[in-house]
Structure 1
Amino acid sequence: MTGGPLAHHAHDDVLELVLDRTSRRNALSRDLLRELRHAFTNLPEGIRAVVLTSTGPVFSAGADFADLTGTSADLAYDRDLDNACTAIRDCPVPVIAAVDGPCVGAGVELTTSCDARFAGPNTWFRVPAVELGLLYNPTSIRRLHATLPRSTVTRLLVFAERFDAADAVRSGLATHRTDGDPREHALTLAHTLAQAPHEALAATRALLRHLDNGHFDDAEWQTTRTRLLDSPARHDAVAAASARHGVTHP
């Protein structure tokens, strides 16, 4: 589906969501952020992974200044960005960003909400909030602090440094660096993850999110683990692995 600021393309059990505002350098308008939230909370049946990509030479120029006032009224924009990022993090399937070109401001927060971030050779990341006289949203900083090393958060938010693709991988802003099209690599990983046992993948991602938020109930997660140990999906996966290794069970 195309025609709006967010295009949808289905590749079997993988959904590709495309930021499609090339004329605005894929700036994240409030309308686009709402569309992202809706897309991630209303996945089509059968989708097992999502790839977030963009059109044009810029992944995202960040917040759309047409939606900003330079006053406390911009808290409404923060809420829309927070809702979109929360929807990505709470998505029941893995989310992979393919970042090609500059990724600025709110675009950085959007991509760091994804499970993996492929950075192409022309990619760079930067958050110039302090240069705009802004304390970045504390909720957003907490999320970044839970996702990235403390030194990276300082360089990103206090120093407003620009991270090229290689530096982004070293610092955790990106998880993979590619010499070619990051979209192809992201789709390949997405299709691989789509074949993994869905419940185990979802439970592992959920546990990591809970740890990011400082929440951990050992008894709850041990119960989940025991349930998955006895699941048909695990039985089938172990049986298939045993067959590959020439192991037979009585």
Structure 2
Amino acid sequence: MASMEKYKTLEIVQRNPNSPVFYLHLNLPSQFNALSRDFFSEFPKALDSLDQNPNVNVIVLSAAGKHFCSGIDLGSLNSISEDHLSADRGLSGEKLRRRIISMQDSITALERCRKPVIASIHGACIGGGVDIITACDIRFCTKDAFFSVKEVDLAITADLGTLQRLPSIVGYGHAIELALTARRFSGMEAKELGLVSRTFDSKHELDQGVRDVAEAIASKSLLATIGTKAVLLKSRDLTVDQGLDYVATWNSATLLSNDLKEAVSAQIEKRKPVFSKL
């Protein structure tokens, strides 16, 4: 089990040295992985290093300790309030806006990362934790995990992506109800809502199930999985017509690849394909 670069709030691990599946752990278990200032600076750097690493095909985002994420660190919230108190309301407002945009960008790094990211969720996933998982590509959880779009209880309008991404995952009606009530809901309900694709009876079964899915995706052509992620994300904001035009342009650049020849040959020869690294 190889550990990579050193971070204060995160850990990158390659559990199997022969596998292109890498694990990015939220790693502040004593604080239930609350999101600190350090997290917001480290998270995009860690994702970028995984994105640039040619040995990585799939990233699993999971968490150390009892809970996935307890939301934004309350000390950080206090410091944000104090940092931006100023006699000049316009200047302090502009400075706060830039801070929020920088924090948003740290979460959007999940979508900017070309490689697929699978969220593996256990325990609590609260507030900023929901911002994070809605920016991941696939979500799995334990049945006894629990979630809350918590921000209204802290007198905040959620601003790191939940209100933008959750409606397209669970539907507008469910999203606004969850966001306005801030109520807690279970892993089982998360599955019913479509927030997660599957639930597992235990953390051990979740780990195994996520590993199996990650390995299956990692065995496919990275050119194809990267393209699929990019086109789906882009098409979310386009009409069907525009989306079709975008994928035609994408494929005009990437379709005629060695991976395509290898996939066809492997099917004909009834063997496992061996695809290119990027």
**Both structures adopt the same fold (TM-score exceeding 0.5):** yes
In 2: Cα distance, 1:77 partner to 1:187 partner: 36
| 1:47 partner SS | coil
Alignment of 1:70-219 (within 5 A): 71=81, 73=84, 75=97, 78-137=100-159, 140-181=162-203, 182-214=206-238, 216-219=242-245
1:219-230 matches, cutoff 5 A: 219-230=245-256
Query: SS in structure 2 opposite 1:213?
Result: coil
Q: Which runs of 5+ in 2 are unaligned?
A: 85-95, 272-278
Q: Give distance in 2, aligned partners of 1:21 and 1:124.
A: 19
Q: Secondary structure at the match of 2:46?
A: helix
Cα drift, residue 37 of structure 1: 0.9
In the alignment, is the contact (CA less than 8 A) between 2:234 and 2:243 conserved in 1? Answer: no
Aligned counterpart, 1:248 = none
Q: Kindly tell me: are residues 99 and 76 of structure 1, through their superposed partners in 2, closer, same or farther at Cα, counting changes over 3 Å?
A: farther
**Aligned CA-pair RMSD:** 2.3
Aligned pair in 2 of structure 1 residues 76, 30: CA closer, same or farther (>3 Å)? Answer: farther
Q: 2:7 and 2:119 mapped to 1: Cα distance?
A: 21
Q: Is the 8 A contact 2:7 2:42 kept in 1?
A: no
Aligned-residue offset at 1:48: 0.5
Q: TM-score, normalised by structure 2?
A: 0.80
Structure 1, unaligned runs of 5 or more: 246-250
Q: TM-score, normalised by structure 1?
A: 0.88
Equivalent residue pairs, number: 245
47 and 67 in structure 1: CA distance in 2 versus 1, 3 angstrom threshold: same
Amino acid corresponding to residue 33 of structure 2 in structure 1: N
Q: Secondary structure at the match of 2:133?
A: helix
Asked if the contact 1:228–1:234 (Cα under 8 Å) also holds between the matched residues in 2, the reply is no
Structure 2 letter corresponding to 1:164: S
Q: In structure 2, how many angstroms separate the alpha carbons of the residues matched to 1:86 and 1:148?
A: 19
- Letter of the 1:100 counterpart: H
Q: State percent identity of aligned pairs.
A: 26
**8 Å CA contact 1:68, 1:77 repeated in 2:** no
